[in-house]
Amino acid sequence: MAERRVTIGWAEGLHARPASIFVRAATASGVPITIAKGDGTPVNAASMLAVLGLGAQGGEEVVLASDADDAEVALDRLAKLVAEGLEELPETV
C-alpha cells in the first residue's frame, strides 16, 4: 500500500471549500484513495461527508493511502494539493 503523510496547508483545515477542492481532486484521480487524520481510521477521500467528518484542522497531519497499482502519481498530486493549500489540483507534480 502506498501512502503519503502530509501536513494540511489550508489554515481552516479540511472544511467547506478546501474539503470540496480535495474531494473533487481525489475523485478526478480515478484511483481509490483513503484519508485519515494521523493514525486514525481511514475514510473514502472521494466522499465529502467522510472528509468533513474527519474534522482535520490546519497544521494537522493526514495520511493519504491507496493500494491501487497506479496510485503513486495520484498520491503525489493530492499530497501537494493538501500541503500547499492550493485552490486547484496542480497539473504536474
Catalytically active residues are: 15
Q: Do the Cβ atoms of 13 and 37 come closer than 8 Å?
A: no
In a 13 Å sphere around the CA of 74, the CA atoms on its Cβ side amount to: 26
Contacts of 53 (CB under 8 A, 6+ apart): 43
